[in-house]
Amino acid sequence: MTGEGEPRPQQLVLPVAGVRPPAQGREDYLVSDSNRAAITALDAAWPENRLALIGPPGCGKTHLARVWAAERGAVLRRAAALEPGEVAALAGGPVAVEDVDRLHAPETGAAPAQAADRAVDPAAAERALLHLYNLAAANRQPLLLTGRRAPTQWRIALPDLASRLATLALAEISPPDDALLSSLVIKLCADRQLRVGPKVVTRLMRGIERSHAGVAQMVAALDEVSLTEGRTITPQLATEILNRMKPD
């Protein structure tokens, strides 16, 4: 027991064998007005078999790319991990290449790229992507590329590649609406096996950052506090976390 005013004891957080990984099937993707058009474009015939799937961080681009890859039997690669020696084999079937806009270190003021997103040799990665683009076109194989903004805004140094990417048809995921945000809170909590009631969701919706990334950050914070402090997730705890996460 602790005396009045004494800090609450902290629990050691250990990995739990039964924790469920995030559900990544088509039926697990939350659909709303903010992403319905992108899903329709992904499922339709693409101009020249090429498409750019774009949207803000955490909006579900990877989820949709994995769904498409699974359904089409496609290979999924990060742009930074493309190797010239594998391009010919990749172009023999459908391919999805993620985070093409993250090959280079970000410009000043841009969102920082994770080290794993950036290519060790961006010039070599760009050449590999150009070769893949051309071979996929010659073989009439579908090529899906993802990024955070339109391809005309991607930092691409190779002129031939930049000109090709600029012609891509777009499937754009918009910022989330209220229906998607609340559903996303519930789904991400379920992925972490967190039990939250309607009042908690309502409280979070009043103060949460209105973005996919903001929801993910909030749910992660709830999970951490619930585990380390041994607290039930209540509207009061949701309010505390919201206050802690407010910028100074």
In a domain, 72, yes or no: yes
Same domain, yes or no, for 121 and 224?
no
pLDDT at position 208: 85
Same domain, yes or no, for 165 and 191?
no
pTM of the complete model: 0.72
Cα 69 to its chain centre, rounded Å, is 15
In a domain, 2, yes or no: no
pLDDT at position 247: 67
Same domain, yes or no, for 124 and 43?
yes
Q: Do 53 and 29 touch, CB atoms closer than 8 A?
A: no
Which domain, by its residues, includes 168? 32-172
Same domain, yes or no, for 129 and 187?
no
**How many structural domains are present in the chain?**
2
pLDDT at position 207: 87
In a domain, 12, yes or no: no
Same domain, yes or no, for 98 and 210?
no
Same domain, yes or no, for 148 and 207?
no
Same domain, yes or no, for 42 and 135?
yes
Alpha helices per DSSP H over 78-211: 87-90, 122-138, 159-165, 178-191, 198-207
pLDDT at position 1: 39
In a domain, 203, yes or no: yes
pLDDT at position 214: 86
pLDDT at position 248: 58
The C-alpha atoms of residue 187 and residue 196 are separated, in whole angstroms, by 10
pLDDT at position 116: 55
pLDDT at position 246: 77
118-122: long-range contacts (C-beta < 8 A, 24 or more apart)? 118/80, 119/79, 119/80, 119/82, 120/80, 122/157
Which residues of the chain fall below pLDDT 70? 1-25, 27, 105-118, 247-248
Same domain, yes or no, for 164 and 189?
no
